[in-house]
Amino acid sequence: MEHSSFPSAFSTLFGELPKETWCCSDLYKWEGFWYTSSHLPAAMAARLNFQANDSDVFLTSSMKTGTTWLKAIIPTIMNPIGRMDDDNNDPLLKRHPNELMPSLEVQLFKENPNPDLSYMSSPRLFRTHIPYPMLPESVKNSACKIVYITRDPKDTFGSLWHFFNSLVTTHGIDPWPMNEAFDSFCRGVHVFGPFHDHVLSYWKESIKRPEKILFLRYEDMRKDPKGQLRRLACFLGRPFEKEKEVDKVLWRCSLERLKNLEVNQHGADPWLGFEYKFYFRRGSVGDWKNNMSNEMKEKLDHITAMKYEGSDLGFGH
């Protein structure tokens, strides 16, 4: 990946930061987390210049934890049209979920360190993979809402490995060996990693400020979609009045429907180059069993237990 065009001083900074090769990219370590050369300047610019509104909603996560599903669910909850029976005006029919919640570091601040966001109507919906300490202070200190979604680390790793291999193989590059990818993940070297530190940064803050940060687990969303959807809607200040509204949103945003929509079967994300169809794979809980050996499972479970010790945060899947 190429360095962002701003500012020139970043070329010096990159030369001074810890660096690792990950998949087909170089990663740079800043304040304990790993970034690509395009994401780090954008994240730093957002941290410095982004001004949050109290009505803003942020979807935050590490990569491949169920984010795409929530990129469809949150806009549908916030948009009154999402609960109506008329499907003709459903934004999901014409726009990939990525377009409904633009990213701070992948889109908005990637090419301009201080973009004009006045065109965005309220409530503004954003997404980011930035860890909590790196968030703009205005996001932390305003009344805006943060929704964080995480997932069993084993399924997260498997999904991440499949996702990036889908990109490299379409460019004629040999698939990324699983053992190599797994070793990097366990060491915390991956985009926006370490995974466990990322999760803990939001988890600890959600305990302190539950009115500010809603902490969701992908497994809970799959096990009890109606209950979790009601919880999410209440947190966002858009509680459901009727059961059929819950059913409507769940149907509109079901992974099966999203996967089969024409808009998600063709084209590619202009900012990342991933084909839209690659954002929808299985989405199942426990899929790691189809990819990982028992030895790998035991190793990652051990790391997770050590990292989460004393946090009351765990995954028993």
Which residues are the active-site residues? 129
Round to whole Å and give the CA distance between 64 and 229.
20
* CA triple 130-21-291, angle to 5 deg: 80
Name the token pair of 151.
Answer: 């997932």
- C-alpha 297, offset from chain centre: 23
Sole residue written with tokens 């090769």: 21
Q: How far from 253 is each of 14, 91, 158, CA to CA, in Å?
A: 40, 11, 23
